[in-house]
Structures are given as C-alpha cells and as structure tokens.
Amino acid sequence: MEDAAIGNVDAVGDMLKKLSTLWKTRAAVNLDLPDYWGLAYDPTKSDFSELLLPFRDHPSWTAAPSELRSKVLSYAWAIYNLKTVYIECNVVTPACEDFIKAPPSSINRAAVQDVMSQVLLDEALHTRMSIMACNYIYEKNGIPPLEFVNFNLVQWRENLLSNCNADWERRLTRFAVACASETLITDYLKTMAEDNSIQPICHEVTRTHAIDEWGHSSVLSTVAMDVVHGLSNRERDYLRQVIVKTVQMFANNELGAWAKVFSMLQFAPGRDMLRDIGDTNEISVYTHSVETLLERVGLTRNEGNVSTLAEAADKREGALV
C-alpha cells in the first residue's frame, strides 16, 4: 500500500513536469498575443452573451427597450470581468503564494513551486487583459465605469477564513476555494469563449483566457493530488467540504453588482427582476466539473484509496498542507 502511494507521488511529479513544459509553449504569457485593444468596435454586436444573463427570460428584461438592453450587456461584460479580476487577485493569487512561499514537504516540492509560479504569472496577465477589455468597452460605449467591490464569492471566502480556528484550516480553505474556482472558471468562460456573435474583443480575450484556464484546472488538480497524499482523513474531509461549498458561491448571481448597474441606468423594473430570480444561478453547470475534480484527487466520500498515509497523518493533529 505504501509502495503504491509512493508510486502515485512519483506519477504526480511526472504530471507536474509535463504541465510545466506545456506552459512554456501554450500559455498566453509566452505567446506573441494580438493587439486586442486595437480591434475595431462593431456597434451592431453585443458586448456580452445574453445567454449568460441570469434574468434573460424575465418579462421585464425581454420587454426592455433595445438601447437599454445594449447598455446592460456592456455592464454585464464589466461585472463578468470585475468578478474575474477578484477571482484572480483575491482567490487564486493567495493560494499560489502559499505554495511558492511554503511548498508541501513532498518529493514534488520544487515541481509544485514551479507550476504555481507559472499560474501566478498567468493570472497577472489575465487581470491585465480583463481591465484593459473593460476600459475598452466603457470607452467605445461612452459609459461610466462600474465601481463594485463586494462580490459574494470573495466575501464568503473572507468569512470562511475569519471563522477558521487554526493555520491548517486557513491554508486548506485558501487552497480549496482556489482549486474549485480554477476548475469552475473554465465553465464560466466557455460560453463567451465560443460565442462568435459577440464583440470581437470580448470573444478573443475570453478565448485566450479560457485556453490558459484549461491548463490551470489540470495544474490545480494535480497539485491537489500531491496535497491530498499528505492529509489526514479529517483534513481531507475539510478540503472536500470547502470545495463542494465553493460551487454554490461560484454560481452566485451577484445581485449587488446588478442592483448597482440598474441604479446607474435608472432601470426601475430591475429591482423586482432581481428579487424574482434570486441569488443562485444554475449550479448544475458546475456540479459535474467539481465531481470530476473530487474523483480525480481522491476526495469522494468513502473513497477507497484513502491510504495508510492518511491514517498515519490522522495521528498528528493540526497538520499543515
């Protein structure tokens, strides 16, 4: 059993090395990217996929004048990107820093630091792409920027961290939310990345981001495999619970951001519309991806591969990742 576990750790190391090599040729940060900000603005196209609006079928939305709908779609792009910026800066970056500053004490220590530092570089570029593309849309539409900071996913994560009682809980929380987010963000970006009917810059920027995030979901799940090897059953249970809870928060409709937009546009029916649709979007879009993640890293309930390593780790209380 122990030999098999060591073998798994070796296999994880091989995967991390392959992912690191792929990053050198595939990551946007290493490519000669087109000048997105120089792309022509097409006033006949929407700035966002209507399909993603949580109120797309609401009668107040379908009855709204087309000029207002067009402005709402421009701000939908802003909400989408601001939320992306918060995920990059407040969720993924802190987890990358944890692994860079204090990597796990496995044989894959250096490989984990290597891939997590690559992810950190990617997220800095994605943050830049998001703010540049937001400002492009504000400027081309002549609309004031959306100022909003209270995204529910970020607030919920902060609350979770403030209720942690030990460093190992805080560190596992940061990792669990980042790991789930990096799995779910591919689903989050998919519709826009595949929608050729929207504004060219919005489609192109999201497509470039989605390709990187496809790699990140593999990186984070492989790092999670390394992490899980060293956890006690109690710690594994905690990690699984936070990953599962993150799905719900990721799918949150962010009603506060929408309320701000409707107030800026003086769209009075917006308030009732938000009350009608409620807080939670289609979780089913994300559930499958997280189930796949939990299965891949050995965190499904009653997992048969809970190894002797976990049982040994259970004997030490409050172990760190």
Where on the chain is the footprint of Fe ion (CB under 5 A)?
123, 126, 213, 216
Distance from C-alpha of 221 to C-alpha of 219, rounded to nearest angstrom: 6
DSSP of 101-150, one letter per residue?
HS--SSTTHHHHHHHHHHHHHHHHHHHHHHHHHHHHHHHHHT-PPP----
Q: How far is the CB of 314 from Fe ion (least distance, A)?
A: 32
Diameter of the chain by CA atoms?
66
Q: How far is the CB of 123 from Fe ion (least distance, A)?
A: 5
Contact of 111 with 176, CB cutoff 8 Å: no
Least distance in Å: CB of 130 to Fe ion? 9
Query: Which CB sits closer to Fe ion, 121 or 264?
Result: 121
**Cα torsion angle, 156, 158, 163, 166, sign:** positive
- In the bound state with Fe ion, the residue whose beta carbon lies nearer, of 103 and 215, is 215
Tell me whether residue 210 or residue 313 sits nearer to Fe ion (CB atom): 210
Q: How many other CB atoms are there within 10 angstroms of residue 74's CB atom?
A: 24
Least distance in Å: CB of 119 to Fe ion? 6
Contact between residue 78 and residue 134 where contact means Cβ atoms under 8 Å apart: yes
Residue 142 Ramachandran class (φ > 0 left, ψ -120 to 50 alpha, else beta): left
Residue 178 C-beta: closest distance to Fe ion, Å: 9
Which CB sits closer to Fe ion, 12 or 91?
91
List of residues 6+ apart from 198 with CB closer than 8 A: 45, 46, 47, 48, 49, 192
d(CA 154, CA 177): 10
Q: How many CB atoms lie within 10 A of CB 26?
A: 14
Nearer to Fe ion, 115 or 310 (CB): 115
CB 121, min distance to Fe ion, A: 11
- Give the shortest CB-16-to-Fe ion separation in angstroms: 16
184 contacts 292 by C-beta, under 8 angstroms: no
Is the CB of 116 or the CB of 309 nearer to Fe ion?
116
The continuous run of DSSP H or E covering 179 comes out as: helix 167-194
